[in-house]
Structure 1
């Protein structure tokens, strides 16, 4: 480490060939693979030219969240179920807006990534003959899913980090990304440095700021989870989308996220066995009284209601195509109606079976439809109560709540429909290179998932993207030298000045916390699982106005300690504009309901007579999917001169490659590094 002078301040200056931003499972695997590649190439101390920079090693979705982070989706490993990488790719691309080459690579490299995790110590279970038996997850036609329990992604991150640490990996912690510093224009544009703020050092004369310079950047900081008020992302998971957008990276599929049922006191998805044990789901008023079995308004009988609760286990994401005709996502809409429209609280009770209304038969396991009954019989989960079935099938699912001071043996679990995962992100090619040279994007930040995806496929995508980025950097870019303090002095000074201006507002300006709350409320109301044109357009107008206000007048802060929050507010504000602009852009293109969101429209199909839109007191009606748009990916790029700050463009998904090549020429391509050329 050296220093760089900025005015009367002295900032720490770190230099490396490659900087990886983030410390989750994707980031740590990229670091590990890059070190291994360089050691295999004969380099003695590759760790001296690599740095992992993170806002919190023990924070983030990989370490602290459930659902997708419990399930690992890979090529099939069950001994009697055949699978191919091409079939895997077809599953990932089935619902559109997904590049076929990325999907095929995720299939081809999935077992390489999975067995690497096994080797570093992730306790994926296998049977006596060594087979890793799979199970079905949502949108999964095969038994490709596996799990190491509720803490799967946490185990992944920790085991990968431990292995990388043995190889000397440097991790600089508590660094919040404030700004990427770029040079050049057009195809010659590059990120040359990154300005960060250490939250614990803001009272120092340099306000806790540090500078990192590198030739290569791997962005792996997760999704923009806290952009929503109702979210199951871990607290503090803001991501760095705003900084990346401002730097010029092209984004794609920003309209596509996943939403579903999750607990709110301790943020955790209630998917899988939580639903498959078929607990009672009921509501109360805000004070906890006036209990109601509200699901009975939406289903005709006990077996149908119980089946759909069960199906939420592996049909967990809210799905616009599973609402009508008493399907499983009607449960999500019923919870939305109860919480958002009626202002009540919804609970899962594992101490009681579902309760029907007068005239219904009582809950009886033997009367369940075959799909649920056969599963419970096969797993031996025929105990009388949901809590006993859960303890039999997945005891760690109970323990994870106990660790967070929630005893499922004594109390119900409050739930809501929450934002869970961003399927969109930043555009990448087959090596996970972004639209800016020498910058790679992996993990949830990479927009590789399309409209729908199998549960757990995000973990596989993160591991594969990490491997691909590391392999490319090691073979093509690891000899490049980063910029020096002398090269960066003026650009760093300009960036520092912008941050100081952000916090120089007068007493009439809003505070950073007020700005963040406004953004979260707006996105939850207009940019989540229920959307409509007039609402999206008004939200975009409000978001732009907020962005211009923040950039012209700044935010009101009372001490330097609020600098990180002010930076977050500015970044989240730009991110919400990008997301809302993309939503409006898709509506302009004739988009209907798809993936995990519904587009409301008066001429659309009725969801259910009991689902009442509070704006007109009529049943919700939603527009069907425009399937033609599956063949178009909407891309979004920041342009401060544009009317809405962003320019939109359409690209066709790249097809699944069908390349036939004999071994000898393939070997030649590999030896001569032709595989890395476009």
Structure 2
């Protein structure tokens, strides 16, 4: 039976109209500093970022009576609102289908290593609450006739804990949470970019930010102050780190901002890379049904000649087509899956075509061409898991586009909205950076090492080496709630008017010193240098000596910026100028951690293969061993620890921390443990 969904339903799930923001509050006071007059606003808690995680934190804080304010560089313009995949995943405990328990889910979340066991359990046990509250707010998660949530299998997920309301799942999450924040009257300052965290002896004191609306003769760069004893960092990941990226443009995250404030980062060696369309057009992940319908993948050289390059890697048409399908639920590149003709051999092949200067395309109007000397593609000649999935889905149509139209018409509609009709033309794509698994090191309440500063969502380092697809959306909801609970219980945010202003002159001087009209360093030059270095030396394939050289180059660039500053073309570029300085810091931190990991004998794990002529693992292609890509195997001992990075003066200080444990045998007891809840002792 063909899936027939009316056009108005497809439109509603694809063109998601976002809520309209209310009027912004007035700045009630001004502070004179460095010859400028800066508007100032006081609040109990300041949430930096307006994605799904930040909005969750703001909503839960407001519900608990905390005076909370949101600042955002671009409302509804971040990763949550603008990114996704074929049927973007929300990963939660599966209690409606095959059964599950929280300890099993926690083990799955932390299976890749470098993951705190207590954090994994918190995410697992908090997932039903997160999902149910989103449904209450209006998130249209699909149900079966008896009320169970429809589920499917996703990356690093063998149980089937994934659910979705289409390619715009996270945008729909932002919509319902944003509408709730507006309904609750949470103040929202849009077009506001945080540039320096203010701290004092007791921790957080606020945020120095830039607003174009505040620019004037007595404030040429539009600096403003938000004075608050609590900050929640929720500004997403460092999307601008890589040239080859599926992040929306302008996603800088807050890693550099955090480093300057003395916050410790964890696991920033760990990222996700996978196939997707380039950010120059419409950046989008090509996971799920985009590849499960098994389109023809080919490359085109400078002369316009087509190359059926995957046929050079796989031994049979069946093996090649089955591994293209598996990219649907094995979407991220994983070093070990390059072996034994696995699914990440597809990523390696695509990456090599890019190195040759060829463009790679996905054609949904053609089935895969056969491997030379083998039989043609046929749906009844696929590996058992692939054939079973397509049979159960009723996807027996003759062409990939017909199978896609049957299995997920929203996937076609989405690209049409951006003037790309994959039903009529091939789709260009590449291997891109997609997600930072590391971030600010936090405890089970989302607290950083600096008092009053919390981190949630992709800003927080709550993931290990790998994570099930969609668990990042779940983690943001769980930790947004957890942070709000802890902030409300601590009482720290109940004192907005007592916030001091001791560090303001130093913060203003530090950011103003970055802008130097005579500098040889420009924003365009910084972007090209940072992104090229990261894409070429910290992507899916890393060479130890090259990583070490890249680390030295990043450190040298940071030194040049400190001594020479950056040349702004105009005052309106000032926020970007500071962000590119912070991106230089983030790049240096990532490369320092990666070099530290490799120098300690770190092997290939997760998103990165460490190329090594003496390595004990080598991918094989149809023609034989790919010796140039021989790599080190992972050292299992490294799974039990995390690499932490902290900026100490001008030096990246690196340290090792053992993963926190969680006693799986511990049992709560109602009468014994209830007083800790009643008195708030559990928050200590």
TM bucket normalised to smaller = over 0.9
Partner of 2:677: 670
2:33 equivalent to 1:6: yes
SS at match of 2:144: coil
| In structure 2, distance between residues paired with 1:654 and 1:565 | 37
| One of 355, 364, 382 as aligned partner of 1:368 | 382
2:225 equivalent to 1:211: yes
Q: Give the alignment's TM-score, normalised by structure 1.
A: 0.93
SS at match of 2:581: helix
Native 8 Å contact 1:600 1:622 kept in 2? yes
Partner of 2:96: 78
| In structure 1, distance between residues paired with 2:150 and 2:412 | 23
Partner of 1:555: 566
Taking a change above 3 Å as real, the CA distance of residues 631 and 244 of structure 1, as seen in their structure-2 partners, is same
2:260 equivalent to 1:246: yes
Native 8 Å contact 2:86 2:290 kept in 1? no
The CA deviation string for residues 170-203 of structure 1, in whole angstroms up to 9 with x for no partner, is: 110111111112212xxx4x12121111246556
Partner of 2:85: 67
Partner of 1:657: 663
How far residue 70 of structure 1 moved from its aligned partner, in angstroms, is 1.1
Native 8 Å contact 1:213 1:484 kept in 2? no
The CA deviation string for residues 587-640 of structure 1, in whole angstroms up to 9 with x for no partner, is: 122100001110000012222358999xxx953111111111001111111112
| In structure 2, distance between residues paired with 1:163 and 1:446 | 23
How far residue 656 of structure 1 moved from its aligned partner, in angstroms, is 2.2
Q: 5+ unaligned residues in a row in structure 2: which ranges? A: 1-26
Partner of 2:7: none
Counting only pairs closer than 5 Å after superposition, residues 186-585 of structure 1 correspond to structure 2 as 188=202, 190-199=203-212, 202=215, 205-206=218-219, 207-264=221-278, 265-286=281-302, 289-340=304-355, 342-478=356-492, 480-482=494-496, 487-488=500-501, 491-506=503-518, 509-585=520-596
SS at match of 1:67: coil
How far residue 482 of structure 1 moved from its aligned partner, in angstroms, is 3.5
| One of 619, 629, 641 as aligned partner of 1:632 | 641
Taking a change above 3 Å as real, the CA distance of residues 396 and 199 of structure 1, as seen in their structure-2 partners, is farther
Taking a change above 3 Å as real, the CA distance of residues 77 and 204 of structure 1, as seen in their structure-2 partners, is farther
| In structure 1, distance between residues paired with 2:623 and 2:204 | 49
Q: CA RMSD in A?
A: 1.8
The CA deviation string for residues 340-372 of structure 1, in whole angstroms up to 9 with x for no partner, is: 2x1100000111110124422111111112111
2:144 equivalent to 1:130: no
Native 8 Å contact 2:244 2:432 kept in 1? yes
The CA deviation string for residues 208-251 of structure 1, in whole angstroms up to 9 with x for no partner, is: 11111101111111000110000001111111110111101110
| In structure 1, distance between residues paired with 2:675 and 2:399 | 62
| In structure 2, distance between residues paired with 1:262 and 1:626 | 30
The answer to which of 49-58 and 352-361 deviates more is: 352-361
Partner of 1:41: none
Partner of 2:24: none
Native 8 Å contact 2:86 2:410 kept in 1? no
Taking a change above 3 Å as real, the CA distance of residues 361 and 453 of structure 1, as seen in their structure-2 partners, is same
Taking a change above 3 Å as real, the CA distance of residues 351 and 570 of structure 1, as seen in their structure-2 partners, is same
The CA deviation string for residues 286-342 of structure 1, in whole angstroms up to 9 with x for no partner, is: 46x1011100000011100000000000000000010011100000000000012x1
| In structure 2, distance between residues paired with 1:180 and 1:262 | 34
| In structure 1, distance between residues paired with 2:496 and 2:194 | 18
Taking a change above 3 Å as real, the CA distance of residues 635 and 163 of structure 1, as seen in their structure-2 partners, is same
| In structure 1, distance between residues paired with 2:92 and 2:59 | 20
Number of equivalent positions: 652
Taking a change above 3 Å as real, the CA distance of residues 550 and 126 of structure 1, as seen in their structure-2 partners, is same
Native 8 Å contact 1:77 1:134 kept in 2? no
SS at match of 2:533: helix
Native 8 Å contact 2:140 2:165 kept in 1? yes
Taking a change above 3 Å as real, the CA distance of residues 468 and 611 of structure 1, as seen in their structure-2 partners, is farther
Partner of 2:156: 139
Partner of 1:619: 628
The CA deviation string for residues 105-125 of structure 1, in whole angstroms up to 9 with x for no partner, is: 111111000000111111100
The CA deviation string for residues 416-475 of structure 1, in whole angstroms up to 9 with x for no partner, is: 110001111111111111111111110011111101111110000000000100111112
| In structure 2, distance between residues paired with 1:521 and 1:611 | 32
Native 8 Å contact 1:51 1:171 kept in 2? yes
The CA deviation string for residues 268-296 of structure 1, in whole angstroms up to 9 with x for no partner, is: 00000001000000000246x10111000
Q: Give the alignment's TM-score, normalised by structure 2.
A: 0.93
Partner of 2:601: 590
Native 8 Å contact 1:608 1:620 kept in 2? no
Native 8 Å contact 2:87 2:411 kept in 1? no
Partner of 1:15: 42
Taking a change above 3 Å as real, the CA distance of residues 602 and 321 of structure 1, as seen in their structure-2 partners, is same
| In structure 1, distance between residues paired with 2:345 and 2:670 | 52
Partner of 2:69: 51
| In structure 2, distance between residues paired with 1:474 and 1:523 | 40
The answer to which of 420-429 and 326-335 deviates more is: 420-429
Taking a change above 3 Å as real, the CA distance of residues 386 and 201 of structure 1, as seen in their structure-2 partners, is farther
| In structure 2, distance between residues paired with 1:68 and 1:660 | 40
Native 8 Å contact 1:348 1:415 kept in 2? yes
The answer to which of 426-435 and 307-316 deviates more is: 426-435
SS at match of 1:196: strand
How far residue 77 of structure 1 moved from its aligned partner, in angstroms, is 3.1
The CA deviation string for residues 637-677 of structure 1, in whole angstroms up to 9 with x for no partner, is: 11125xxx111111111112332231111211111111111
Native 8 Å contact 1:598 1:622 kept in 2? yes
2:651 equivalent to 1:648: no
Native 8 Å contact 1:612 1:620 kept in 2? no
How far residue 498 of structure 1 moved from its aligned partner, in angstroms, is 2.3
* Structure 1 stretches of at least 4 aligned residues deviating more than 6 Å after TM superposition: 610-613
Partner of 2:168: 151
| In structure 1, distance between residues paired with 2:90 and 2:301 | 38
Native 8 Å contact 1:348 1:412 kept in 2? yes
SS at match of 1:440: strand
